[in-house]
Amino acid sequence: MNKKLITLLALLASTALMPLMAQGIMGGHVTGNIQMDGQISHRDTTIGASEVPEKLLMNARADILYTNGDFSAGLRFEAYQHPMLGFNSQYKGQGLANYFVSYKTQDFGITAGYYYEQFGNGMVLRAYEDRYLGLDNALLGFNVYYRPWDGVTFKGLVGKQRVYWNIGEGLVRGLDAEVSLNDVVKRWSEATTRVTLGGSFVSKYEEDESIASTIPGYKLNLPKNVGAGAVRMDLAHGGFGLQAEYAMKGQDPNIMNDYIYKNGNALWVSASYSQKGLSANLQAKRVDNMGYKSVRSQTGEMLYINYIPAINKEQTYAFLTMYPYATQSTGEMGLQGDFMYKFKKETLLGGKYGTDLHINSSIITALDTTYLGGRGTNGYESSYFGTGELYYGDLTVEIAKKLSNNVKFAFTYGYVVFNPIVEGHEGDLHHNNVLVGDVTWKLNKHNVLRFEAEWMGSDSQYDKEVDDKRCGDWIMGLVEYNFAKSWFVSASDQYCYNDGVGNYYNLSVGYNKGAMRLQVGYGKQREGLLCIGGVCRQVPASNGLTFSLTHSF
Amino acid sequence: MKKLFKIFAITLVGSLLFGACDKIEENEYVVFGGAAGTWYDGDGVADHSQRAFLEKYTGVRCTNCPKADDAIATAQAAYNGKLIAVAIHDSSVFTTPFVDSPDLRTDDGDAWSKALGVFSAGSYPAAIVSRTPATTGWDLFTPTSGIESRVDAIVNQPASIAIAVESKLEEGAVTIGVDLEFLQDVDGELTLTLLLMEDGIVATQVQPDGTRQTDYTHNHVLRDVITDLWGLDVEADGQTGTARFVQVKYDRYDEDWDLTKCHVVAFVSDKATKRVLNVAECEVQ
């Protein structure tokens, strides 16, 4: 291209942009973040790691957001060249995965393009993204909110969902209304009891398709429009709180429920109390046939319109996360209790610095159901308060105590009972007892040492046919050293010493500076499940190098 | 309280707009899904011709439809068996039958019309050859002209799959046998669709000059889609040389139809794109 042409194009471009600049549209600011995760894994028959033909796998993304007053626009470029182990191979490729323009004020907002949204707890609609699960249910279309009066918010949306690099065929429409009664009713404005009510309606449209029934020559008469609705309340009075949401779904034969026509429903209730040094929470949940996707035949975690909140504690220690619970949207019943108490300083149990006690327990079962028929019938009946087989249970007791100005100690006892049926295969219940000791020693302002020791005793035994490498009794040690403001290095090893197989060591080193973080690790990864909020992803075994670079600007 | 009432009213209206859902009665959970059969290894197909399948969406109240009938008949004669056409009367305003004249509409034809965008386009007659896509949507056109270029684009290509169909009426049922032979490797899932069409139906038809001709002869009129609307799955590995055979029994025909004037059309198509790969027809013997 010759210089004259370049000059002409630059002139034209600047002329075209001048009105925009005059309106201040070009005077906004740009923010963003970049993340690159990579992996090199070798074949390792001892842990079941396969050879990776590409040698290097990488997931990368860059989010760019432009903001100027009430206007914003953003885009996200993603590259999976090729997807890291455990991420769906349909992500393979690269391109613009998300883009939007948005205008938002206090009272009104509209977004065109890709957007995320949630109504209430998400039991009828939650479009969200979790990069670590490889999940992105973003909607492509329009999303609007409007606040006509103080304390009143209406939301409306229409769109189709992202599925890897494509857009699902199902069309999603939704409306949500939320009212804070204390803001709307004048005489309640000063009341100490605060009440918020909400309601949501969602409908999906999907074209007919041919799905065979169990009767030869006959097919299912599928509903094209499937609706779901929910009502919710949030009540607070002093330290007491009560939240509840009830959702219902119309006939929705789909691959998750094996194409039955039973209506779905779900109830979630949470009661809590808190005061200084004490908090207690009790949650209950009942879910019956509430898997709701915009494409009825879609398997896996993509294209969910809704989300069923998890009701068990999200554990952090390695052996307590070994058997995570995946929410069973087709049917489950659960109860969780959580209690935290701080023993005051200078008391018998509090000692010089006080002691924190945290007890959590949950139990989740199947529903009590009566079989009516298979595909093309109402499927089953369920007793509302009856329970079926045990899916999952846990008890965690944590005691955290500061021993001196520089040393903190935490002790955790955990008990987990796990039914392998939630992972899709029959088997005996696994009963695991876990002990964890965690010491943090602050050597000085910039140097911190942390030690962690874990033990897990389990009644599960390794069976070659099932090849569940989590079975058996385990020990683990971890040392982590943070030094020179920005660096950290850690070494850990998990070893199965009885009734199982596996020795998984890991070394990692990291560097943080400002908004940048770089981490490089080498070691073995045990196959298993990674679950966040009850949504899980299979993580295959690997042996090799991993690295991660993130930067925000 | 007035505010609460307004909020309630807005929510109610919104829920009616957004909360649409279909309710299916328990006795309608399953419906007839079309005739089906078991696939076996076949003996291959002698005739490897590539043929084109023309769907003409038409109506008895459509003034230009007789012109399209003439153009299609001329083209069929010219292509000497390589162009198979079916006339589909959907549920548009052009298809409402006249008093004392047969109703040529079918639910199946209506469903195809809506799926291919003919109904929403609202322009009749409309046609599509072998369900060919356009840049956006389908390559729909007015079949008073432009047939040849579209058919040439199909029949001048070597066939990827050869297809043959035969049928026999015995003991009240039509037994239909379809042979497929893969002449090239074919990726993706395929479906086989069978339909029944009838020639020589006399019904009133509006003519280009606006008059009604009460003794107009309608040919190749779609009577029924024998299989599921979008066909039954082809069980084959898609490799060159593979030959498959399926036999289907069909007894859900109407007593008013004259089977001696009926033809069975069989076409194989790509399940994902719906594009027709090849087609064949035979008389009901």
Question: Does A31 map to a domain?
Answer: no
Of A209, A212, A261, the CB nearest to B24: A261
Of A199, A202, A228, the CB nearest to B11: A199
- Domain finish residue from A309, A344, A364: A309
One-letter amino acid for residue A522 of the chain: Y
Q: Whole-angstrom Cα distance, residue B34 to residue A48? A: 47
Question: Does A74 map to a domain?
Answer: no
The model's pLDDT over B241-270, given as tens digits with 9 standing for 90+, comes to 999 999 999 988 999 999 999 999 999 999
A299 and A344 both lie in a single domain: no
A287 and A335 both lie in a single domain: no
Q: Whole-angstrom Cα distance, residue B65 to residue A101? A: 47
Contact of A536 with A530, CB cutoff 8 Å: yes
Q: Is A5 a residue whose pLDDT tops 50?
A: no
- Domain finish residue from A483, A501, A519: A501
Q: In Å, how far are A18, A179, A239, B141 from B118, measured between CA atoms?
A: 46, 45, 63, 10
Which chain B residue's Cα is nearest to A179?
B7
The model's pLDDT over B52-76, given as tens digits with 9 standing for 90+, comes to 999 999 999 999 999 999 999 999 9
The model's pLDDT over A27-44, given as tens digits with 9 standing for 90+, comes to 799 999 999 999 999 999
Q: Whole-angstrom Cα distance, residue A126 to residue A141? A: 15
Of B3, B32, B34, the CB nearest to A149: B3
CA distance A98 to chain B (A): 23
Q: Which residues pair with A507 in a beta bridge?
A: A491, A522
Question: Does B216 map to a domain?
Answer: yes
A164 and A176 both lie in a single domain: yes
Question: Does A16 map to a domain?
Answer: no
Question: Does A29 map to a domain?
Answer: no
CA distance A549 to chain B (A): 39
Lowest mean pLDDT among A52-66, A155-169, A194-208, A461-475: A461-475
A207 and A325 both lie in a single domain: no
pTM of this prediction? 0.80
Give the pLDDT band of residue B19 (cuts 50, 70, 90): low
Question: Does B13 map to a domain?
Answer: no
Contacts of A154 in chain B (CB under 8 A): 10-11, 14
A269 and A212 both lie in a single domain: yes
Of A154, A175, A217, the CB nearest to B32: A217
Maximum Cα–Cα distance across chain A = 85
Q: Is A406 a residue whose pLDDT tops 60?
A: yes
Which pLDDT score is estimated for A15?
40
A242 and A340 both lie in a single domain: no
Q: Do B7 and A177 touch (CB under 8 A)?
A: yes
Question: Total structural domains in chain A?
Answer: 2
Lowest mean pLDDT among A29-43, A517-531, B137-151: A517-531
Contacts of A172 in chain B (CB under 8 A): none
Q: Is B193 a residue whose pLDDT tops 80?
A: yes
A322 and A275 both lie in a single domain: no
Question: Does B14 map to a domain?
Answer: no
CA distance B222 to chain A (A): 20
Which pLDDT score is estimated for A8?
43
What is the separation, in whole angstroms, between the first and last Cα of chain B?
76
Question: Does A36 map to a domain?
Answer: no
Q: Whole-angstrom Cα distance, residue B24 to residue A221? A: 8
Q: Is A113 a residue whose pLDDT tops 80?
A: yes
Of B21, B28, B228, the CB nearest to A210: B228
Q: What is the mean pLDDT of chain A?
A: 92
Q: Which three-class secondary structure state does DSSP give residue A131?
A: coil
Q: Is the minimum CB–CB distance between B35 and chain A shorter than 8 Å?
A: yes
Secondary structure of A336-395 as H, E, C letters? EEEEEEEECCCECCCECCCEEEEEEEEEEEEEEEEECCCCCCCCEEEEEEEEEEEEEEEE
Question: Does A92 map to a domain?
Answer: no
A425 and A369 both lie in a single domain: yes
The model's pLDDT over A249-270, given as tens digits with 9 standing for 90+, comes to 999 999 999 999 999 999 999 9
- Cβ–Cβ contacts within 10 Å for residue A308, how many? 25
Q: Is the peptide bond before B125 cis (omega within 30 degrees of 0)?
A: yes
Q: Is A1 a residue whose pLDDT tops 70?
A: no
- For A191, phi then psi, to 5°, come to -65, 145
Question: Does A159 map to a domain?
Answer: yes
Contact of A364 with A392, CB cutoff 8 Å: yes
- Cβ–Cβ contacts within 10 Å for residue B110, how many? 19
Which pLDDT score is estimated for A538?
81
Q: Which helix (H) or strand (E) holds B70?
A: helix B65-79
Question: Does B24 map to a domain?
Answer: no
Which pLDDT score is estimated for B169?
93
Question: Does B191 map to a domain?
Answer: yes
Contact of B57 with B69, CB cutoff 8 Å: no
A297 and A334 both lie in a single domain: no
Q: In Å, how far are A114, B69, B101 from B216, measured between CA atoms?
A: 54, 11, 11
Which pLDDT score is estimated for A537?
80
Q: Whole-angstrom Cα distance, residue A295 to residue A304? A: 8
The predicted model gives A404-420 an average pLDDT of 96
Question: Does B28 map to a domain?
Answer: no
Number of residues assigned to chain B = 285
CA distance A141 to chain B (A): 15
CA distance A13 to chain B (A): 31
Contacts of B10 in chain A (CB under 8 A): 154, 177
Q: Whole-angstrom Cα distance, residue A155 to residue A342? A: 41
Question: Does B63 map to a domain?
Answer: yes
- Domain finish residue from A282, A309, A336: A309
CATH number of the domain encompassing residue A188:
2.40.160
Half-sphere exposure of A99 (CA within 13 A, CB side): 4
Question: Total structural domains in chain B?
Answer: 1
CA distance B29 to chain A (A): 5
The predicted model gives A361-386 an average pLDDT of 96
Tokens coding A86? 């455990």
The predicted model gives A528-548 an average pLDDT of 86
A336 and A471 both lie in a single domain: yes
A396 and A470 both lie in a single domain: yes
Half-sphere exposure of A427 (CA within 13 A, CB side): 22
CATH number of the domain encompassing residue B50:
2.60.40.10
Question: Does B68 map to a domain?
Answer: yes
Which chain A residue's Cα is nearest to B272?
A209
Q: Do B32 and A209 touch (CB under 8 A)?
A: no
Question: Does A13 map to a domain?
Answer: no
Q: Under 8 Å CB-to-CB from A421, ≥6 apart: which residues?
A: A389, A391, A427
Q: Do B10 and A177 touch (CB under 8 A)?
A: yes
* CA dihedral angle for residue B130, residue B135, residue B136, residue B139, rounded to 10 degrees: -30
- Cβ–Cβ contacts within 10 Å for residue A178, how many? 21
Which pLDDT score is estimated for A24?
47
Q: What is the DSSP string of B121-187?
A: H--SSEEEETT-B-SSSB--B-TTS-HHHHHHHHHTSPPSEEEEEEEEEETTEEEEEEEEEESS---
Q: Whole-angstrom Cα distance, residue A441 to residue A464? A: 42
Q: Which helix (H) or strand (E) holds B108?
A: helix B107-115
The predicted model gives A426-449 an average pLDDT of 94
Contact of A409 with A438, CB cutoff 8 Å: yes
Tokens coding A37? 């995760």
A257 and A343 both lie in a single domain: no
What is the separation, in whole angstroms, between the first and last Cα of chain A?
34
The boundaries of the domain holding residue A157 are: 105-309
Q: Do A213 and B22 touch (CB under 8 A)?
A: no
Q: Whole-angstrom Cα distance, residue A531 to residue A133? A: 8
Alpha-carbon radius of gyration of chain B: 21
Q: Is A18 a residue whose pLDDT tops 80?
A: no
Q: Under 8 Å CB-to-CB from A166, ≥6 apart: which residues?
A: none
Q: What is the mean pLDDT of chain B?
A: 92
Of A152, A175, A220, the CB nearest to B15: A175
Contact of A366 with A331, CB cutoff 8 Å: yes
The predicted model gives A57-65 an average pLDDT of 96
Percent of chain A with pLDDT over 70: 95
Contact of A342 with A358, CB cutoff 8 Å: no
One-letter amino acid for residue A307 of the chain: Y
Which residue of A144, A185, A201 is the best one to mutate when testing the B interface, meaning the one whose CB has the most B CBs within 10 A? A201
The predicted model gives A352-359 an average pLDDT of 95
Q: Is A5 exposed, middle or buried (0-12, 13-18, 19+ CB in 10 A)?
A: exposed
Which pLDDT score is estimated for A424?
83
Half-sphere exposure of A432 (CA within 13 A, CB side): 30
Tokens coding A146? 């409007």
The boundaries of the domain holding residue B233 are: 35-283
Lowest mean pLDDT among A455-464, A525-534, B110-119: A525-534
